[in-house]
Every structure is written in C-alpha cells, then in structure tokens.
Chains A and B, each alone.
Chain A
Amino acid sequence: MIETGYMQVLAAAALAVLAIVLAKVKAIPVGKEIAFGTVRSFVQLVAVGYALEFIFNTKSFWLVALSVAVMTVVGAYTAAQRAKHFTGGFFIALISISAGSLVTLGLMLALRIITPEARYIIPLAGMIISNTMNAGAVTFDRISSDLKDHRLAVETALALGKTWRQASLRFYRNAVKAGMISILNFMKTVGIVALPGAMTGMILAGASPLEAVLIQVIVGYMLISSVSIASILAGEMAIRRFFNAAEQFVG
C-alpha cells in the first residue's frame, strides 16, 4: 500500500462483496446489513475526514471545542441509555465523561506530552470519550442490576442501622470495577492478543513500529486515567439516586 486513494477503496470493496456472497450462499441473513454497513461506514468516515481536514486547516480553537462538545453529548446520551431504575443518567454521564476528558487532556497538555493542536486533541478526545462512555454505561448497568437484585441485602443492612453508603458500598465498588474492567483487560493483553487500532494505523501510515508503540503506551495510560475518573464519578453519582436523606432505599 503506497498511495491510498478512492481507487484502492473501491478495490477493497470487493472484500465486502465477498462477505455478502458468502452470506447469500450460506443463507445467513446478514447480507443486507453488510451492504448497508459497507456504504454507511464509507459515507460516515469520509464525512468525518473532510470535517477533520477543515478543522485542522482553519486552526480554530472554537471549532475544536465544538467537536469535542458534540462527541461528549453523544457519548453521554449513549451511556445514559443504560441508566435503568434511576433518573438523571444523562447529566451524570455528561459530568463523568467531561471530567474524564478534561482532567486527562489537561494533564497531558500541562506535562507537555501533547501540544494544543487539533490533530492531537480531536483524536485523543475521541478515544477518551468512547472509552469513558463505555465505562459509564457498564457502571450504570451494574449499579442498576445489582441494587435491584440485592435489594434485600441493602435493606437488611439499612434495617440494622447502617447508612446507605455502608449498605451499598460493595455494590458501588463492584460497579466501578466493572466499568474499568475492559480497559484493564486491554492493558493486560495489548500487543499479545492484538495490536491496537491506533498503533496499527500508524504503522500502516509509515511510522516506525517503535514510535507507534510509544504513542500506544501513552494512549493506554491516558485511557486508564480517564476511565477511572469517569467510572468513579458515574458510580458515585448514580448510587446516590437510589437513596434519600432518611437512609431509605427509593430506587
């Protein structure tokens, strides 16, 4: 792959066609979805490509901020879909994701790991937001289902004179840990089971493997920090929703 252009993409589309043919032959009902996904991913990504080119070229701070804000809102909305049995999921997710991104990106800027340029901020924010979004969603999911399934355990503790925090502590901890588990697993297996996408992309685009690896390590540290912040905040704020000031379970 020397020069990537639309011709190469068109040629690669043959691979998608191969998948469709296979699905047809084996009568697996995904042919339409593959076709749709092939077109859709092309359109979405090309649109994003043009948008990024535009943003990078204009060098406008506000445009960068706006794109990050849009990504954050969409991420918060998506995570909030998993907030069952309690209200305010969107705002909790918005605060958790924003804090996770702002703190980590802020630190990376302060430590001069990156410079305040769109070409760093936007892709890194995108990675942080999609990871914190997943962490928030998993934390929400776990808190909702654990507190619902273990209502008797929680109320038994309350009935024995424990505070809501004491009564729910182990479920809070489990939920926060669940939110972090996928990034923890990622850090354990990275490089052994699979090469991460960002690193692969850099190598394909011509960077030296060592340079790509160093960037990947930085990305990993950045993600563990942002995911920790987001999971803890999401868990902290979500679990409060199930109790009131009279130490009553109101979920």
Chain B
Amino acid sequence: MSCHNTVVLETRHAGRQIIKNGNAIRTVDNVSYAFNKAHIYNLIGPSGAGKSSLLRLLNRLDEPTEGEVRFFDKPLAEYPPTELRRMVSMLFQTPYLFPGTVRDNLQFCCCDLTDDKIGQLLTRVGLDESFAGKDADDLSGGERQRVAIARALSLEPEVLLLDEPTASLDPTSSQTIEDLILRLSEELCLTTIIVTHHPNQALRLGGETLFLVKGRLVETGKTEKVLKDPETELARKYINRELR
C-alpha cells in the first residue's frame, strides 16, 4: 500500500454552536485544516478548548453548524453514517466496554472475528492473548483503554481518533500505545488524530500539532516547531505550564 500524501480528512471553516439553557456556546469555531494520510496529528489545548468537540465533528457524531467536513474530498453527509464511522473510528476520553468478555467487545463490530485475529489485536495493544476470556468488568483502567483501542482497530479504519488515550495509563503502558500509534501509521498507513495533555507525548509522536483555544485553531505546524518554538504567546505559555 502506498502512503502518499493524499488529504484524508478536511475541515473547511467548520464550527459548532450549541444552545444550552438559552445561551449560545461555540464549541468549535471556524476550523480549517487538512489531515494527510498516514500522518500523526496531536491536538493540544487547555481544558474546554473544544478538542473533544472537534473530534466528534470528524466522524459525524455531531453535525457542524457552520462550514463542512470532508472525507476523501467528499462531504461527510455523502457517506452513510455507519460506514463513515467504520472508516473514521473514534475512541472516547473515558473508554466504554460493553458487558461481557474482552472477546465479546472485540467482536462487537465484526462478529466473525477469528480467535487468531483477536489474539493479534490484543498483542498489538500490548495485552496477552489470554485476556480474550476475561470479563470486561475485571480490567484495570489501562487494560480497558487498550481493549477499546483494539476494538477500534478491529474495523481496520482509515483514520483513528483518540481522545486522551493514555490519560489513565502508567508510563510503560503509555509507551506501548505510543509505539503502537507510530507503528500503525507506518505499517497500515493509518491517519491518527490524538488529543493529548502531554507536550512530551506529542514530541515523542512527532507529526503535526494543532493548538486549540476556545474552539479556534491558534497555531499549527510541525510538532517540534509548535512545541519548542511557538509563534504565539498563548501557545508558549500553555506549553511551558504543561511541561512543568
């Protein structure tokens, strides 16, 4: 498979406004950006910046109220939502596992998944194959997170949207996930958009970084550049605070 630089996902002046108790809240504001195939994108920004809200627009869990989102140069609305979400797979900030075993969860999307394939998925996310028979309720936070990633990968998506996937993991498990992301983008040409609170994690993943504040893209560019030599005062302050 060739991983040439095609645009996979693109937002064009995408925005979303919600009305809550009579007040208009703009969660995403005029975001225009093109995500390239097989690249890694770090989404950083303060709490409430709209990082999760932006991810939700990318697989059409929410509808933009302004602008549009395109997947392979066609508006998202032109794809059946269920098929789109199998190609643009998303992992929530707090992973949810369905009642049942790890196997049940991995077979949730494709119920004809063989034991071999299940073993592969588990090894991929750094879990032993014996986990397949475990009850989802008995897993630790980090194990749940990894099962959820494996489940998202079972769809063999084009794009993987990860909302703080290592928030509840220890450094070793975080490393496993980071390695996995790097490997997947290389081996499977997977495009990964990952929300992270750790500038150091973004640096390890490389790729591009998007700095979001109040729903708006404040700064974008090569991760090294954005994190080590930001253009804006806002980004510099935020990064220094997070690095401490």
Contacts and interface: CB of A to CB of B under 8 A. Distances in A.
Given A246-B63, A246-B81, A247-B82, A160 B155 contact: yes
Interface residues of B, number: 24
Contacts of B62: 248
B82 A161 contact: yes
A163 B155 CA distance: 15
Contacts, number: 51
B233 interface: no
B92 A163 contact: no
Given A246-B60, A246-B77, A163 B94 contact: no
Given A152-B94, A153-B96, A248-B60, A159 B89 contact: yes
A160 B81 contact: no
Interface in B47-95: 59-63, 77, 81-83, 85-86, 89-92, 94-95
Interface in A123-152: 152
Given A153-B98, A155-B92, A163 B82 contact: yes
Nearest to B55: A159
Interface in A17-55: none
Contact of A152 (B60, B96, B108, B151): B96
Interface in B138-167: 151-152, 155
A157 B60 CA distance: 13
Contacts of B90: 159
Contact of A161 (B85, B91, B94): B85
A174 B233 CA distance: 53
A156 interface: yes
Contacts of B86: 160-161
A159 B149 CA distance: 12
Nearest to A163: B82
A168 to B, nearest CB: 13
Contacts of A157: 98, 108
A156 B92 contact: yes
A159 B81 contact: no
Nearest to B93: A152
Contact of A156 (B59, B77, B96): B96
Residue of A161, A162, A246, A247 with highest tally of chain B CB at under 10 A:
A161
Interface of A: 152-153, 155-163, 246-249
25 contacts: A152-B92, A152-B94, A153-B96, A155-B61, A155-B92, A156-B96, A156-B98, A157-B108, A158-B61, A159-B61, A159-B89, A159-B91, A159-B92, A160-B89, A160-B108, A160-B109, A160-B151, A160-B155, A161-B82, A161-B83, A161-B86, A162-B82, A246-B81, A248-B62, A248-B81
Interface of B: 59-63, 77, 81-83, 85-86, 89-92, 94-96, 98, 108-109, 151-152, 155
